[in-house]
Chain A
Amino acid sequence: MDDVADKGITEEAPRGGGPVDDDGGLRRSITGKQLFFYTLGDVLGSGIYVLIGLVAAAVGGAFWIAFAVGVSVAAITGTAYAELVTKYPQAAGAALYVNKAFGNKALTFLITIAFLSSSFAAAGSLASGFASYFAEVWSGPPTLLVTLVFILILTIINFIGITESVVVNVAMTFVEVAGLLIVMLIAIIFIAQGKADFGVLTEIDTGGNPALAILAGVSLSFFAMTGFENTANVAEETIEPHKTFPRALIGGMITAGVIYVLVSMAAALTVPTDELAAADPALIEVVKQGILPFVSSGFMATLFAVIAMIAITNTTLVAIVTQPRILYGMANEDVVPSVFAKIHASRRSPWVGLIFCGIVVASLLIIGTALTSTGGGLDLVARLAAVTVVLLLFIYALVIVSCLKLRGQDEDEKTFHANTPLLWIGLIGNVAILYYTIDDDPTSLIWCAGLIGVGVALYVAESLFGKSGSGTEHDEPTTSKGDL
């Protein structure tokens, strides 16, 4: 060991008297590009692979309009998030913003629980979507078993902490985009062969009001736009968030929007709408049309199913990371039992929270499957997607209101400003879609209530049994012998 080893240290001056000195810009690790791919991957996986058939059924050949409208509303909501993130970069997200704006404990709690619930429902819906693609590759095991094993494996992955890798995240996003590029490529070949009938893109084949048909499509497709709110998770670790965050978030949303519109046009052109509507999973029908030269459509279908599964896995992982994180935060605030703040000694994962969240999602899937098999009408993917959408639209609307309400507070010259008229349009959009979704599927409210009930039960448990000021009984050293 050489004593001259300290040459070449860039001696860092403590900045602004802060408790921790700076490391030459190395303190934060998420770059704008990585954040862009995080947003894109998170949004893309949740929906277009899963829901496109339902949207096609609701609207007809022109269902790309539903995706365009939905993603616009979501992107506007994204600008509100971007503004709030540049003001309050802490990872808490919507709950923090609403708390800042209204200072109402009950409302903050409701938002937190609604967010948690939406994440449960999203994970359930995504798991069912995963199973539908899995069946394309191997249709042996029953769907419920596939979804449960899927959730179990992701929970274990989370416990180990593989999700830490930003590189893996970017790589998975590339795979997701590749899958959608295949769909577009097929459409381009189809158009080049002169077989495409562009008339289908303006067909709205529901008897009633075309505007209502599109609204129905937006409501169904809106699940595909969600996921971007999870970027608030990494806000704190983003380099120069005031600059990179708005760009990456809104850029990611717009990119996702363009991809959605192109993919839905591609699907509408290559597959008859009624076939799309009937198929599950729908997007794979495009590949099965056998339009690609030289490759067998069977091989392409398998490849595409694998890509879709990776895409869905990526998004589900983010959901499963978010859930125990929310519980951890609430446990530290003494809102839910402190056991959710328990961190595994060596893995540094909130293992109790992870197990609990896994159980909640698994129960959702089991109950959902039981209800569907006894003639519950809607299929499980759509049902849980609707529940997610209802909860998230409520949160989105409140986030926009919070953004408007917090104008003029905590701002500096670096703060990103969302366009105010756009925010109002976004607010109206969110409320309209929310209204329609509930009106169309009132049962989804029962599910929402059930999920929020889980959160309330935890709150009650804490206030009844957690009063001993137990706070967080973190693992105490197993022995004091090691304390020297």
Chain B
Amino acid sequence: MHVVVATDGSQQSLRAAKQLKSFADPEKITDISVIAVIRPLAAVAFADDLSPVDRRRADVEAGGFREAAASSVATVAAVFDGWGPKVHKKIRSGSPANEIIKAAGQLNAGLVVVAAGGRGLSDVVLVGSTAQRVQHYAPCPVLVVRPAPKKPRKK
């Protein structure tokens, strides 16, 4: 089975990758494709929150958003190092949900792993998040990893 793991550079997407690793059977997974999608027309086409700050600090001369995407993909891919399945790193560009769904189709994926956004007001009020669209239109099962509750209450 080919699994597509999407990253938007957020901590939550890294957690989603770890979630997959925590329960899935590496014997059943042949390939993992870690995919980042650059949004060319967005204010920040790709923000990398995963790499250490000093590596992130690209000066004017360094490659821009593409570099950020590549380093996020590398960080997430590293989660699966030595786990078994073959890991592919991919960067696409366009609308995240569309590109993830397209990639899942092209790779004949058996599972897509995405992180769901925050639990803030904006996700309730504003139109669909990437995770939501992927859930609705993906050609295969989707694992949506939601953020943990804000403060774990004592029981």
Contact = CB atoms under 8 A, between A and B. Distances in A.
A484 B60 CA distance: 37
B63 interface: yes
A328 B93 contact: no
A349 B42 contact: yes
Contact of A346 (B31, B95, B129): B129
A234 B45 CA distance: 9
Contacts of B120: 345-346
B40 A234 contact: yes
Interface string A7-22: 1111010000001110
A246 to B, nearest CB: 18
Contacts of B89: 19-21
Interface residues of B, number: 72
Nearest to A108: B60
B73 interface: yes
B110 A2 contact: yes
B152 A30 contact: no
A354 B45 contact: no
A349 B126 CA distance: 14
Contacts of A1: 1, 28, 110-111, 140-141
B142 interface: no
B151 A479 contact: yes
A229 interface: no
B147 A482 contact: yes
A343 B47 contact: yes
Contact of A166 (B41, B59, B73, B108): B41
A29 B93 contact: yes
A481 B148 contact: yes
Contacts of B70: 19-20
Interface secondary structure of B, over-half rule: loop
- Scoring B39, B40, B43 by chain A CB atoms within 10 A of each residue's CB, the highest score goes to B43
B56 interface: yes
B43 A158 contact: yes
Nearest to A91: B64
Contacts of A329: 60, 64
B32 to A, nearest CB: 11
Interface residues of A, number: 74
A471 B92 CA distance: 28
A161 B133 CA distance: 14
- Scoring A3, A236, A475 by chain B CB atoms within 10 A of each residue's CB, the highest score goes to A236
A212 B106 CA distance: 61
A348 B90 contact: no
A334 to B, nearest CB: 7
Interface string B19-59: 10010000010110000001111111101010001101111
A90 B61 CA distance: 8
Interface string B59-92: 1111111100010011000000000000011111
A27 B117 contact: no
B44 A20 contact: no
A333 B59 CA distance: 5
A28 B12 CA distance: 25
A6 B1 contact: yes
B95 A165 contact: yes
A233 B93 CA distance: 14
B109 interface: yes
Given A2-B1, A165-B95, A484-B15, A96 B61 contact: yes
A12 B149 CA distance: 39
A9 B44 contact: no
A221 B107 CA distance: 51
A474 interface: yes
Contact of B42 (A2, A161, A479): A161
Given A91-B65, A477-B11, A165 B41 contact: yes
Contacts of B31: 6, 9
A19 B74 contact: yes
In order of increasing CB-CB distance, the 8 nearest A-B pairs are A346-B117, A482-B148, A471-B53, A237-B40, A29-B93, A474-B49, A346-B118, A343-B47
Interface of A: 1-3, 5-10, 12, 19-21, 23, 26-30, 90-92, 95-96, 99-100, 108, 158-161, 163-166, 169, 233-234, 236-237, 320-325, 328-329, 332-334, 341, 343-350, 353-354, 471-472, 474-479, 481-484
14 contacts: A5-B2, A30-B40, A92-B60, A158-B43, A163-B43, A164-B40, A320-B43, A321-B42, A324-B44, A345-B117, A475-B49, A478-B148, A479-B148, A484-B15
Given A3-B1, A28-B93, A29-B40, 13 more contacts: A29-B38, A99-B61, A108-B60, A160-B126, A160-B127, A164-B95, A166-B40, A237-B93, A347-B122, A349-B43, A474-B53, A476-B11, A484-B15
